[in-house]
Amino acid sequence: MLDATLYGDEDQAVILTYAWDRLLIDPVPGPRGAHDFTGLEQITPAVWAVPAEARPIAPAGSTLPRLAAELPHTFALIDPHYGAEGITRQLEELISHLEPTSVDLLDVGGDILARGDEPTLKSPLADALTLAACCQVNARIRLLVAGPGLDGELPPDDLRGMLGPLVHTFTAKDSERISSVLEWHPSEATGMLAATARGVRGTCEVRDAGLPVPLTDEGPTVHEADMDEALSRNQLARAITVTVNLDDVEAHSREICGYSEIDYERNKAAWLSEQRPVKLAPEAVLAQLDQFEAEAQSRGVTHTTFRHITEALNLNGGQRHDLRELLINSRTEQYDAPLWRITTSPE
């Protein structure tokens, strides 16, 4: 969305991104590296593209090949297994090879601006790693924050003073470019970004913990932020600038933030492996949904994501698509694409 808005369609972007789809898609904790795929295409010695034909090696999962099939951009893989120094090397090789006209570091939500000790912060590792690497590259990189607060990690009020000039406000027309992707892609933050661009307002409950995220006029905005100020604030990013493997990055995260989000995934994956699969029986699911919606309304919730519904109803990630189809076909009027609007059934 951002590339088309800022740069048009003439030159296609190379999007360097993580293969880290969380347990809903990928049952293996943590991010995937190049060794977790077949069919990658080498761009530079350290950088591999993920084409539509690539496949994650079982039991791993990834949305990147399908994104590559449906969008015109080149998706290249950030490999965090060699720490911040490895990602710095990837960036330097790409910039030398591509000679790009611009390089933007985009974070949806704004947790890249965190200190690291905020009680609401849940997933600082990937942002801190990328920030640490970008600050060591000898090239101009612009830091952009889209959808302040939409990742449910830092409250918008806390972010407001750290945001610089407004770069763009997404519109419904902007969101049309990725509407078909959001029919299947599980990203909650991007889903809420697109929904606010379409005018959806309210409170959206997300993630397994049911975090409430306000959907406001700030939701579709994109702001520039100061990269050096972000690094000076982000304790984890500063601590990991010379790391050469992911284990060291995790150790610093445990020390500074009090946890590693990959540990959380490890614990959750172990718990999920012990759960008996729940059958998706339509009548029972819709009855459960009624109860969930009544409780959500009592909390002031107006919307939720299909990821959150899946977990709230104790279904597994593999059932998310079938659940989504059942809900949309049964109660079409509640589909506030790509979110689900909370209502209670009349008595």
User: Is residue 347 scored above 70 in pLDDT?
Assistant: no
Kindly report, residue by residue over 289-319, the tens digit of the pLDDT.
999 999 999 999 999 999 999 999 988 888 9
pLDDT of residue 54 exceeding 80? yes
Average pLDDT over residues 321-331: 94
First to last CA, the chain: 42
Radius of gyration for the alpha carbons in the chain, expressed in angstroms and rounded? 20
Alpha carbons 190 and 213: distance in angstroms, whole number: 13
The neighbour count for residue 13, using CB atoms within 10 Å, is: 18
Name residues whose C-beta falls within 8 Å of residue 158's C-beta, 6 or more positions apart in sequence. 118
- Residues 167-225 have pLDDT tens digits of 999 999 999 989 999 999 999 999 999 999 999 999 999 988 889 999 999 999 999 99
Gap between the Cα atoms of 117 and 151, Å rounded: 17
Strand order in the sheet with 74-78: 14-18, 74-78, 47-49, 41-44
- pLDDT of 346 strictly over 60: no
**How far is residue 341's CA from residue 38's CA, in Å, rounded to a whole number?**
39
pLDDT tens, residue by residue, 231-288: 999 999 999 999 999 999 999 999 999 999 999 999 999 998 888 878 889 999 999 9
Instruction: State yes or no: pLDDT of 344 exceeds 90.
Output: no
Mean pLDDT across 124-137:
97
pLDDT at 104 over 70: yes
Taken as a whole, the chain contains a residue count of 347
User: What was the pLDDT predicted at 39?
Assistant: 98
Output the CA angle 314-316-317, nearest 5 degrees: 135
Task: Quote the longest CA-to-CA distance of the chain.
Answer: 65
Alpha-carbon distance of 81 to 18, in angstroms, equals 11
